[in-house]
Amino acid sequence: MSDASAALSIAPTGPVTLVTGTLAAPEVRRVAAELASEIDIHVVVLNIQVAALMTTEWVARKLQLPEAADASSLVLPGYCRGDLQEVASAHGVAVARGPRDVADVASWLRGEAPGDLNATEHDIEIIAEINHAPSLSRQAIVRAACRLRDQGADIIDVGCDPSAEREPWAGAGDAVKALRDAGMRVSIDTFHPDEARAAVRAGAELVLSVNQSNVALASELGVEVVAIPDIPESIDTLDKTVTRLDRDGVAFRIDPILSPIGFGFAASLRRYLEVRDRYPDAAMMMGIGNLTEMTAADSGGINALLIGFCQEVSIHSVLTTQVINWARTSVQEIDAARRLMCWASTRGTVPKQAAAGLIMLRDESPRSFEPAALTTLARSLTDRNLRIFADVEAGLLHVMNRDIHLQGKDPFALFAKLDGIDPDHAFYLGFEMALAMTALQLGKKYTQDEGLNWGVAHRGGPVAGDVRHHRDLTSPEETS
């Protein structure tokens, strides 16, 4: 049984044995007591303080299962490193690696923990626009396109000046060719016929956009186009364009135009519904940037909501930009949202309890602690290594080792009470306290020696799940 296959799903009624270390034992026993009426559950405490330092090789040697737990499925701590097969073979039991946080064990065993989204399960295409492409060098266009592709874009849109009453951009064809040579699918956003022709000759597969002013060009281009109303407020102006495209055998998708808030946003959503009713089988697109770029709010929730709307209305492509800072991760957000919404719709459930990375500012389940449990933990410590905890519910930082247990809301005041801290360790503690304070302010989960979880907004540096390496801890062979 490999690690991958060993990540079994524990049946709520099946016997389960939780393996832990001495420091986490009180909390694990509390979880076991909470689940006792639902699951035949046992707890085995191995002679090591920090459960996160267990390895499967060490567990295989040290584990002794009580007779009552011999037939149980064995759940090791989430940080336990190594091949689960070592433990399974040594003890003849099914083995799984549980969640990293004890607070998540109960929901994990109940099957309530966030599920993984299928890596390819979605049906909405992302068209990501490079704004003001004529003002950029060809190299800058390719670099920008590569970033957008890596973030989840399916088609790179070369954005031109919307006006057709100007000289054409001579570099349109070269820009499209450079992107095609880099292996990308490309569209062009222009009303200028010469730019559209050059782009299509170079390999563009989609032209944004056509209405009655330029619909005659569409049959000449020979590629799919986006049909828009002549007047955004009236979808009646679409009928002639759609009829002409149908007559000429031109593939098209319809975008009724999303309006910014305060400029007809609600009415524009109605237009999408009306177009779907009027053209039930037509492909549709939504340009999302009109809302994300024009609303002074983090874009993640807005993108998620709009993608949910698109999922329900069968709008299978969206056009986005990420120019303004609060929308800088829009492509990643839409990529996560399209998977989440497809996952929910195909399962007939709400878009919740699936790890999509869209909970960025806060966390789904911030940590809180019983004061008595922290006091008991502090009394159990036998080394000088400082542990830091952030109790979000109480708004308190806790710092403890075998000699002290400090708590308060001011990290500077807590730090002033610590003695004998060398400069390197002082930097480490300051960094950790800053993370803990951020967690308290925002309602995020803080675990020492891990970064905070920023979802798809993460830009490098420590993240949740990093291997702990900044602090000397008890080695696996040391006992409590």
Q: Alpha-carbon distance 135 to 22, whole Å?
A: 63
**CA separation (Å) from 263 to 297, 309, 364?**
17, 19, 34
- Chain segment 296-337, per-residue pLDDT in tens: 999 999 999 999 999 999 999 999 999 999 999 999 999 999
The single-letter code of the amino acid at 369 is F
Is the preceding peptide bond at 209 cis, omega within 30 degrees of 0?
A: yes
220 Cβ partners below 8 Å, 6+ apart?
197
* Residue 413 within a domain: yes
Q: Alpha-carbon distance 473 to 451, whole Å?
A: 18
CA angle 78/107/446 to nearest 5° reads 55
Q: Using alpha carbons, select from 102, 117, 112 the residue that is nearest to residue 45.
A: 102
How many structural domains comprise the chain? Answer: 3
Strand-pairing partners, residue 206, are 187, 224
Point out the domain boundary residue: 109, 140, 159. 109
- In the sheet with 95-97, reading across from the earlier edge strand, the strands are 41-45, 16-20, 73-76, 95-97
Strand-pairing partners, residue 207, are 188, 225
- Residue 350, judged by CB atoms within 10 A of its CB (0-12, 13-18, 19+), counts as exposed
- Answer yes or no: do 220 and 332 share one domain: yes
- Answer yes or no: do 153 and 297 share one domain: yes
Q: Using alpha carbons, select from 325, 197, 194, 208 the residue that is nearest to residue 255.
A: 208
- Answer yes or no: do 36 and 61 share one domain: yes
Mean pLDDT is lowest, of 51-55, 152-156, 281-285, for: 51-55
Cα Rg, the chain, nearest whole Å: 28
pLDDT band at 5, cuts 50/70/90? Answer: very low
- Chain segment 374-395, per-residue pLDDT in tens: 888 888 888 888 999 999 989 9
- Chain segment 450-466, per-residue pLDDT in tens: 889 898 888 765 554 44
CA angle 302/303/309 to nearest 5° reads 95
Point out the domain boundary residue: 347, 382, 405. 347
* Residue 118 within a domain: no
Residue 408 reports pLDDT greater than 80 = yes
User: Are 336 and 357 spatial neighbours (Cβ–Cβ below 8 Å)?
Assistant: yes
pLDDT value, residue 473? 42
Point out the domain boundary residue: 312, 347, 382. 347
- Chain segment 21-77, per-residue pLDDT in tens: 988 888 888 888 988 888 888 899 998 888 888 999 999 999 888 777 666 788 999
340 Cβ partners below 8 Å, 6+ apart?
117, 304, 307, 351, 354, 356, 358
Q: Alpha-carbon distance 381 to 404, whole Å?
A: 10
* Residue 469 within a domain: no
Residue 235 reports pLDDT greater than 90 = no
CB count in 10 Å sphere of residue 6: 18
- Answer yes or no: do 191 and 54 share one domain: no
Strand-pairing partners, residue 284, are 254
- Answer yes or no: do 150 and 101 share one domain: no
* Residue 32 within a domain: yes
pLDDT band at 479, cuts 50/70/90? Answer: very low
Which CATH number characterizes residue 63's domain?
3.40.50
- In terms of pLDDT, which residue wins out, 52 or 473? 52
* Residue 361 within a domain: no
- Answer yes or no: do 188 and 96 share one domain: no
Q: Using alpha carbons, select from 363, 319, 358 the residue that is nearest to residue 336.
A: 358
* Residue 74 within a domain: yes
Q: Alpha-carbon distance 175 to 186, whole Å?
A: 10
Task: Give the range of the structural domain holding residue 413, as residue numbers without chain letter.
Answer: 371-457
Whole-prediction pTM: 0.82
pLDDT value, residue 139? 96
pLDDT value, residue 112? 67
- Answer yes or no: do 406 and 292 share one domain: no
Residue 162 reports pLDDT greater than 90 = no
User: Are 107 and 19 spatial neighbours (Cβ–Cβ below 8 Å)?
Assistant: no
- Answer yes or no: do 163 and 75 share one domain: no
> Which parts of 348-422 fold into alpha helices (H)?
371-380, 411-416
In the predicted model, what is the mean pLDDT of residues 397-422?
92
Q: Alpha-carbon distance 193 to 447, whole Å?
A: 57
- Answer yes or no: do 334 and 438 share one domain: no
pLDDT band at 118, cuts 50/70/90? Answer: low
Residue 2 reports pLDDT greater than 80 = no
Which CATH number characterizes residue 273's domain?
3.20.20.20
- Answer yes or no: do 304 and 249 share one domain: yes
- Answer yes or no: do 104 and 131 share one domain: no
* Residue 357 within a domain: no
* Residue 213 within a domain: yes
pLDDT value, residue 373? 84
Residue 355 reports pLDDT greater than 90 = no
The single-letter code of the amino acid at 27 is E
pLDDT value, residue 459? 76
pLDDT band at 449, cuts 50/70/90? Answer: confident
Q: Alpha-carbon distance 440 to 306, whole Å?
A: 30
- Answer yes or no: do 216 and 340 share one domain: yes
User: Are 80 and 56 spatial neighbours (Cβ–Cβ below 8 Å)?
Assistant: yes
User: Are 452 and 464 spatial neighbours (Cβ–Cβ below 8 Å)?
Assistant: yes
Q: Alpha-carbon distance 199 to 189, whole Å?
A: 10
- Chain segment 75-96, per-residue pLDDT in tens: 999 889 899 999 988 888 889 8
Residue 165 reports pLDDT greater than 80 = no
Mean pLDDT of the chain: 87
Could you please report the per-residue DSSP string of 50-90? -GGG-BHHHHHHH----GGGTTSEEEE-TT-BS-HHHHHHH
